Amino acid sequence: MPAGAITGGVVEAGEMLTGIPIKDQGLLRQALTHTSYSNEHRDAGVKANERLEFLGDAVLGLVVSDYLYQHYPHLAEGQLTELRARAVCESSLARQARQLGLGSMLRLGKGEEAAGGRNRPSLLADAFEAVVGAVYFEGGFQTARDFIVRQLGNILQGNRPGTGSNFKSALQEYVQGKGGNAPVYRTVKESGPDHARHYVVAVEVDGREVGRGSGRRKQEAEQAAARQALERLRRSKGP
């Protein structure tokens, strides 16, 4: 079998995946193993990527925070928080996972495979975090930092206050411009383990629900809800 060949959704021993600095193929295999697969192979002692995802989430947050702190000394804490959320949101990480081809290499259980898990943004984002955790575990902080900055470079370097879409602010301005009260955000659902929560948020205007959104962080879900609400209200000329 050629070095780096993919079999059963994983990379076999040989060359590291393009763009991923991991030499230990067992570690990489674990990073690409969804819990649905490990549950179906308990007798074989297959480990899922949840622990690596936990580690990667922390490393990712630190690296991005450090990058923003160093490159944007004029920004206040709230602005830095907004930029970090934009850089590490589910859609951003899922996009990088797709560029690395992680979806096609995931080991998934039969049910998750049938449900289209390879293309699910939340699952892809989790896999990217797990790969970051594996890179850090094997190569240390500097290797992980270089990998993250290389992967998220376009986002980090183009990240400026006001250049992203702040749908919450836009929605509030639109609603109040029409004489309505400020939008109210309500968390409808929380799921997932502590290190990988998933939120569903509804936004209401004058007591009426006008949009819903979901995300890995509450702020991300609120932005998604505000975006949907803004689109709906503009179409209907509301509120």
Tell me the catalytic residues: 57, 129
As given in the structure block, the two tokens for residue 191 are: 């799921």
| Strand ordering across the sheet containing 184-191 | 184-191, 198-205, 208-215
84 near 65, Cβ under 8 Å? yes
Rounded distance between C-alpha atoms, residue 167 and residue 174, angstroms: 10
Residue entry with tokens 């079998």: 1
C-alpha R_g of the chain: 20
Which residues, 6+ apart, have CB-to-CB distance to 133 below 8 Å?
31, 49, 51, 52, 53, 54, 55, 56, 57, 59
As given in the structure block, the two tokens for residue 196 are: 């990988």
Tell me the sheet residues that pair with 157: none
Rounded distance between C-alpha atoms, residue 63 and residue 183, angstroms: 33
Rounded distance between C-alpha atoms, residue 34 and residue 31, angstroms: 8
CA atoms within 13 A on the CB side of 18: 6
Rounded distance between C-alpha atoms, residue 173 and residue 175, angstroms: 6
How crowded is residue 170: how many other Cβ atoms within 10 Å of its Cβ?
Answer: 15
